[in-house]
Structure 1
Amino acid sequence: MELVKDYPLSKRFPELPLLSAANTKKHSDLIPFAFGHPAQESFDVPLLSQSAVSALQLDGPRALQYSGGSGPDFVLNWIQQRSKHVSISVETQNILVTAGSMQAIDLATRTLTDPGDHVWVEAPTFFGAIRQFSLAELKISSIPVDHNGLLTDELENKLKEAVKNNVPIPKFIYVMPNYHNPTGVCLSIDRRKKLAELAYEYNFYVLEDDAYVELSFSGKKLPSIYTFGPKRVIYLSTFSKTIAPGIRMGWALADDEQIILRMKMLKSDGSTSVFVQEIISHFLSDVKFDYHMKRINELYCTRKDAMISAVKECFGKEVTYTEPEGGFFLWLSFPEKVNTSEFAGDALARGVSFIESKYFYIDGAETNHIRLSFTFTNEEEIKKGVQRIAESYYRYKKSIEVLNEV
């Protein structure tokens, strides 16, 4: 037999680092703060089981066909009504149900851009979005965030500079307005309005990724960016944080029906699992959704409080953070000269994982932060995990001090 020759694979795959801690095999005592996972206690397994049985018993043959039964229409109508909670009014034909919000990001990206186009993101931002935009062969730039979200004044200055210097403006800006991943902050009302105004003035789209909107510990919801600029916003959300990520169901909505039609054309898998939509339609029919979310948010708020208490006890004034009012994450900032990647391995060896800040920046610019998820682990594990990170950090800090003395 002849030797197998090298085969040239597609050149579209960028050189992106793999997440170390998030992809590490779990050992018996690992506390996985790296996992941006919902709590297992948040899954209503009995009702989901009942819903699956109902889907088969009441509409089995149709639900198992390509086009499905009545479930997909129910899901569309539910999304339409629920969108009113963030001040969105939309027709069901302007909503596309997707296989999770990541597919929605992919479809919107490929609808709005061509290879070589420019997109701008927040700094820091969701590493999954960075990977998606890189795979689409886009040129990515970033705008910083603070405790009130994206710095829209800095965005405006950068847009003015781009026009002045005849540099391409972005085709879209990717923004997470509520309980931002990884920082946990919310975009202020004034900045939401300003961002929409800039999108109209400079003719770019806003990709509004609102995956965490329902995870509000106070129950309050701000109007979406879409509310202030529907002609230039594609709004995305998901059931992953409210029902379960395993069902792989999210959605996109846009004021321009042509946007949704083009996204459908790119959706090569056809309709998003119509049988799963049938199950979810029964679940949504039977669940008291506001009570369901109240239960989840009470659980997450308790765990967030436990993590902040542990951080205060273990780190004191050594770290800073903005206390999140919802979502999954706490973003810890260490002194500027700290490189959190340099003690991530030691922390992992001690049995706790986190994600270092370099993964959340397009150029790895800031290295002195870590993202901790407080949703997946219980209060006892949270306290133990933060203690382990502190042990690793202070060991690292001591080694740096020794080196500086030499």
Structure 2
Amino acid sequence: MSFHILGRRVVIIDKPSVAEDLLTRRALIYSDRHFPPMGGELMKREHNMFYIAYNDRFKTYRRLLHREFNPSAVKNFWSTQQSEARSLVSNICQADSENLFVCVQRAAASLIMKISFGYTIDNDNDHFVFLAESSLKLAYLAGAPGRWLVDSFPILRFLPDWFPGADFKRKAKIWGRKLDNLSIEPHHWAQKQMVSGTAEPSFTSRLLNLDDERERSPDYDDIVRHTAGSLYAAGVDTLAASMKVFFYAMTCNPEIQRKAQEEVDSVTSAERRLPTLEDRASMPYLECILKEVLRWAPPAPMGLAHCSSSDDVYKGYFIPAKTSVYANIWAMTHDEDEYPDPYLFNPDRFLAKEGERQQKDPRGLVYGFGRRLCPGSHFAEFYLFIQMATCLAILDVFKDVDCNGVCIDPKAEFSTGLTTHMAPFPCIVKPRSRDSLAMIQNDHIASC
């Protein structure tokens, strides 16, 4: 699909083969980013991970991220991920079911702040979390399509700040500084901890201690700051969004929940222990649930737009330079030819069955394409797996009931935006047994 919107050519891809052809095989052309006047230029976000052009600085970002989040390196985060998964379950056991999503969001924030800066979130009113959440809201406002006239008529960016109707320029300056603080404040905090000798190992501390002279450019500190700052923006929302979908799926599909619990119990109950990430290979059905969560509700259904850096022709279609190209991930994961009955949450679709075609692993779609592929995909999967496994080991999730004792069928309602979040729904979450509650409580006491 191709159309003009707000003076820009936009192309929407809904077939994986076309996305691979353009965004991966022709990555030299399709790895750039559109840099909007409001959310980009006026707010001075040319070094932001999500707006940066395909240049040497971007390649340095990717190299540093790969260093920390490649399939081998992510094992360094396993103990932290397991600890945060157990904290999530402990917090859920102590909270009302109405606060389930609050616990899920905080768990994702806690993990990302820990691995990014070595920072521990101690309360619900944490300054850094408030700073990050408020900054992300500003980023969404600034980047909202059609909201700012200057995005359609870029010449307006040259208006003086005092000119009537130029309040967007004044907002851009203020918002740009606030968004910078999203990475500046925790980065400076981590540096102070390093100077005092109290810093916990983190993405920031490891990279600032890096002895590789090839990486030590004059702006290396700024590069580390921007790279670490991108982890919160990219990680918290997407991880929390997928866990919310998991709880919804377990609420609506008790038979799937029971089958997954039986698998978890078969691996851990004999030793009376909680799941670990070493158990992942022994839990193939839970792996299928993880795939289905990502397929049924991809957290970033349209991803971020690629931008063509030069003119191109594909199968007779002319694609001019500066075209925004979106991979419609949601359409790809709901293609009836690839995923029969795509709106049904069905982990069994990924189990090999005699005489049936095994359906495509959606993880080849949901993380994006080409040189803008999500560099934290392995980290994300380990996080989701251990969160799901620990919740299944300790918790039962049920449909809530109305005043007449009739089960309430929750509706699947989602927010709009770059990351889509499931709206809160009625459910009951409680420990499976006294033994399971005691297990998580004892683990929490031992970790304190």
**Alignment TM-score > 0.5, same fold:** no
Structure number with higher strand proportion: 1
Structure number with higher helix proportion: 2
